[in-house]
Amino acid sequence: MNRKYLPLIATILVFLALFVIGGSMYRNFLSTLVLGNILADNSFIIIAAIGATFVILSGGIDLSIGSMIGFVGVCMAVLDSMGWHPLATAAVMICFGVLFGALQGYVIDAWDIQPFIVTLAGLFLLRGACFMVTLDSVPIRHDFVNAYASTSLPLPGRGVLRSSALVMLAALALAIFIAHFTRFGTNVYAVGGDQESARLMGVNIRRTKVGIYALAGFYSALAGVVYALYTSSGYPLAGSTLELSAIAAVVLGGTLLTGGVGMVAGTLFGGMILGLISTLIIFNGSLNSAWIMISSGILLFAFIVLHRFLVSSFDLRGSS
């Protein structure tokens, strides 16, 4: 069995274990209803995390995700108040996300500045732009919002896949396709695995990096659209510290922060683990949100140490 699947398997096992633990603690937990709710509530995080997965696979990082979500939300709300159809604004904002991401990728490669710093500036720029658009929450009133909210796919049992979850699954499918069935996706893994070798093998590093951050911008913007429609409002503080949750979801999903190893599919499970933890803690009335943060930290620690020793045992310089 391929060793590279180990982190993903660990993730899925943890997810199942948590689900089963929940089932043993609470009646009605092991149901598609709970599953469907977790998916719906966390769709936007997972979508953003999918974009972050590409960036992290290439060995970079994107801190501007959360701010993009906020910015997209407030723009959608404002344009809605001017009579635009939400789908039209969604299209515009997604284009913006792609361009903004591409710009970040270009600055990172052309000026040789660390991704951390460039996307940090991006975080500030977008968050500031949020406040310039509006200081308060603005509702989205278009009829489309209701139509969107009532769209759902029934699951066996009492569960339902809501529209956010459907969008997320479609986005995931697209990401899996890009990552594993296109030249670009292979290049992403190559750049993250060993940038120098990739360059020597003929990969255009500049084009790949710009593409990666543009893709991340696409997904962040999409996450912003989903969030705005889900909350039917645009809120300038939306998405604060979300980049953190996204990165945690990626790591919990089995992707190494050093790049080159990991799968987009894992991010789905990573995000659901985060959602499960929240749900478990909320179900348990006596624990509170502090435990969500602490258990996320403990899980992260476990995964990071696991990854660290996987990598050193990976010693991918052959057996000598």
Partner 1 sequence: MLDMVTATPPRVRMHAISKSFPGVRALDGVDFTLHPGEVHALLGENGAGKSTLIKILTGAAQRDGGTVLLDGSPVDFQTTGEAQAHGISTVYQEVNLIPAMSVTKNLALERVGGRFGIISWKKARELARSRLARLGLDIDVEQPVGSYSVAVQQLVAIARALEDGTKVLVLDEPTASLDALETETLFRVIRDLKVQGIAIVFITHFLEQVFAICDRITVLRNGRLVGTATTPELDRHSLISMMIGRELGQVEAAFAAKSDVEPGRAKLVAKGLGRKRLLKPFDLTLHAGEVVGLAGLLGSGRTETAKMIFGALKRDSGDLTVDGRDMRGASPRRSLDAGIAFCPEDRKTEGLVGELSIRENIMLSMQAKSGWLRQMPRREQERLAAEMIKALAIATPDAEKPVNQLSGGNQQKVVLARALASQPGILILDEPTRGIDVGAHAEIIILIRKLCAQGLALLVASSELDEVVAASDRVVVLRDRQKVKELSGSEIDRDTIICVIAGEYDCQE
Partner 2 sequence: MTARNNISALVGRLGRHRAIWPLLALVLILIVDVIISPNFFEIRIVEGRLFGNVIDILYRAVPTALVALGMAVVIGTKGIDLSVGSTIAICGAVIAWRIQAGDPHLVILFLALGVGMLCGAWNGFLVAGLGIQPIIATLILMVSGRGIGLLINQIYGGTDPSFESALLQGMSTGSSGYIPNRLFLAAGLFILLWLAIRRTALGLFIEAVGGNAAAANLAGINARLITFLAYVVCALLTAWAGVILTADTHTSDPVSVAMYIELDAILAVVIGGGSLAGGRIHLGMTVVGALVIQTLTTSILISGLPPEYNLIIKALVVLLVLFLQSGKARASLGRLIVRRSK
> Hey, how many other C-beta atoms are within 10 angstroms of the C-beta on 292?
17
CA 30 to chain centre: 25
Choose from partner 1, partner 2, none: what does 319 bind? Cβ within 5-8 Å by kind: partner 1
Helix (H) or strand (E) holding 233: strand 233-234
Least distance (Å) from partner 2 to the CB of residue 257? 5
Binding residue for partner 2 (CB under 8 A) from 9, 88, 132, 282? Answer: 132
Residue in 244, 298, 245 with CA at minimum distance from that of residue 274? 245
Site for partner 1 in 152-171 (CB under 8 A): none
Question: CA-to-CA distance for 217 and 107, rounded, in angstroms?
Answer: 14
Phi, psi torsion values for 139, nearest 5 degrees: -75, 155
Complex with partner 2: residue 167 or 248, whichever CB lies closer? 248
Rg for the chain (alpha carbons), in Å? 20
Site for partner 1 in 230-289 (CB under 8 A): 260-261
Choose from partner 2, partner 1, none: what does 182 bind? Cβ within 5-8 Å by kind: partner 1
Question: CA-to-CA distance for 247 and 5, rounded, in angstroms?
Answer: 19
Question: CA-to-CA distance for 39 and 169, rounded, in angstroms?
Answer: 10
> Hey, how many other C-beta atoms are within 10 angstroms of the C-beta on 60?
24
Binding residue for partner 1 (CB under 8 A) from 106, 144, 184, 283? Answer: 184
Site for partner 2 in 226-245 (CB under 8 A): 244
Choose from partner 2, partner 1, none: what does 129 bind? Cβ within 5-8 Å by kind: partner 2
Residue in 135, 150, 136, 141 with CA at minimum distance from that of residue 232? 141
Complex with partner 1: residue 150 or 319, whichever CB lies closer? 319
Which region, judged by CB under 8 A, interacts with partner 1, from 123-131, 177-185, 220-228, 231-239? 177-185
Contact between 54 and partner 1 per CB under 8 A = no
Contact between 114 and partner 2 per CB under 8 A = yes
Residue in 219, 206, 221 with CA at minimum distance from that of residue 250? 219
Contact between 200 and partner 1 per CB under 8 A = yes
Choose from partner 2, partner 1, none: what does 5 bind? Cβ within 5-8 Å by kind: none
Contact between 202 and partner 1 per CB under 8 A = yes
DSSP state letters, 121-171: HHHHHHHHHHHHH-SS-EE---HHHHHHHH-EEE-SSS-EEEHHHHHHHHH
Contact between 49 and partner 2 per CB under 8 A = no
Least distance (Å) from partner 2 to the CB of residue 251? 8
Contact between 147 and partner 2 per CB under 8 A = no
Contact between 197 and partner 1 per CB under 8 A = yes
- List interacting residues with partner 2 (CB under 8 A): 61, 63, 107, 110-114, 116-118, 120-125, 127-132, 135, 244, 247-248, 251, 257-258, 288-298, 300-301, 304-305, 308
